[in-house]
Amino acid sequence: MGLFDKEIDITRNIKIIEWLKSELLTDLANLFKVLVNGMKEEVHDAISDTLSNIILISYLLGRRLGISYNSIEIKVENKIKLGLIENHDVEKYYGDLSELAKHLNSSRIKVKN
C-alpha cells in the first residue's frame, strides 16, 4: 500500500468517525424527543429502535477508534459486576443489572449452541 493509499484510508477513517459521532448525537437527540412525548404504546417501538441505533453506533465507533467489540463487551460486563457489588440504585430498587447479566449470559449460550 502506497503513501497515497494510506492517506486516503486515514482520511476515510476520520470521515467515518465524524459521521458516526454525528449519528450518535442525532439518535440521542431523537431519544430525548421521543421521551418528551411520554411512554405511549406507539412510542415503544421508536424508543427501542433509537436505543438499538445508539448501541450499534457505539460498537462501530469503538471499532473505528481501535477498540475491539470484545473489549467493549468485557467493559460492559465489568460495569455490570461493579454495579452489582456496589448495589447500584438501579439494581437495589429494580434488579435491572441482574436481569441484564442474565440476558447477556443467555444470549451467549444461545449463540454457542
Q: Whole-prediction pTM value?
A: 0.84
Could you tell me if 15 and 46 lie in one domain?
yes
Of 31, 46, 67, the last residue of a domain is: 67
**C-alpha cell, 30:** 431523537
Distance of CA 68 to the CA centre of its chain: 13
Could you tell me if 46 and 95 lie in one domain?
no
Could you tell me if 24 and 49 lie in one domain?
yes
Q: How far apart are the first and last CA of the chain?
A: 41
Could you tell me if 29 and 63 lie in one domain?
yes
Could you tell me if 42 and 89 lie in one domain?
no
Could you tell me if 77 and 62 lie in one domain?
no
Per-residue pLDDT, 111: 67
Could you tell me if 36 and 51 lie in one domain?
yes
Name every residue whose Cβ is closer than 8 Å to that of residue 81 and which is 6 or more positions away in sequence.
Answer: 101
**76, 108 contact by CB (below 8 A):** no
Query: For the ranges 17-26, 40-49, 72-81, 91-100, which has the lowest average pLDDT?
Result: 40-49
Could you tell me if 61 and 79 lie in one domain?
no
Q: What CA–CA distance (Å, rounded) separates 25 from 32? A: 11
Domain count for the chain, please give it: 2
Could you tell me if 85 and 52 lie in one domain?
no
**97, 91 contact by CB (below 8 A):** yes
Which domain range does residue 21 map to? 1-67
- For residue range 55-110, list pLDDT tens digits in order: 999 999 999 999 999 999 999 999 999 999 999 999 999 999 999 999 999 877 76
Could you tell me if 79 and 40 lie in one domain?
no
Per-residue pLDDT, 76: 96
